[in-house]
A = this chain, B = another copy of it.
Amino acid sequence: MSLSIGQVAERTGLSVHALRFYEQEGVFVDPVRRGPGGRRVYSQDDVDWLTVCIILRASGMPLPALRRYTDLVREGAGNEEERLALLREHRERVTSQIGRLTQCLDLIGFKVGVYEDLLDGAQPAVEPGRPRPSDGGAAPASTPGTSA
C-alpha cells in the first residue's frame, strides 16, 4: 500500500505543496519514504496520521503544537501524560471557541430576525436604516448591536 504525493493530495484534500511543507515542518511521525528518483512514497499509516492532523488543524491547532504532538508520538511510549495534556488543552480551546461562536451566532440570529421582521412589512419598531438616536449597543435584555 504505497501512494504517490499526488494520490495522497487527492485523497486528503491537501495540496502537494502543503504535503511537502508539512513534511518539512516535521508533521510526519517517521520520515516519508522515498522511491526511485527520490519520489515520496506514502503508506496508509501516513495517510491515517494526516487525517488526524487535518482534523487537529481544522480545529485550530497551530502547526507548532501539531509538530510537538508528532514529536511525542515519534519518541514512543513513556510520554503519554504529555500527549494527554496537550490534547486536553486543545480540547479546552476548541470547546471555548465553540462557545464563543455560539454567542456570536446569537447576535447574528438576532440581527437577522430584525431585518426579517423589517422586510416582512411590519412597521419598524425602532428604525430601519441608520438609527442615529443612540442604538446599536443595547436591546432586549443585553442584546448588543440592535441597530443596522
Contacts and interface: CB of A to CB of B under 8 A. Distances in A.
Interface stretch (A2-10, A17-25, A33-41, A47-55): A47-55
Number of copies: 2
Interface string A91-114: 100110110111111011101100
Nearest to A106: B55
A129 B72 CA distance: 9
- Interface-central residue, A90, A100, A112, by most chain B CB under 10 Å: A112
Q: Size class of A's contact patch? A: 35 or more
B132 A45 contact: yes
A73 B30 CA distance: 54
Contacts of A101: 58-60, 94, 97-98, 101
A65 to B, nearest CB: 12
B107 A52 contact: yes
A88 B104 contact: no
A123 interface: no
A49 B130 contact: no
Contact of A48 (B60, B104, B136): B136
A32 interface: no
Interface in A58-78: 58-60, 73-74, 76-78
Given A44-B134, A44-B137, A130-B74, A105 B98 contact: yes
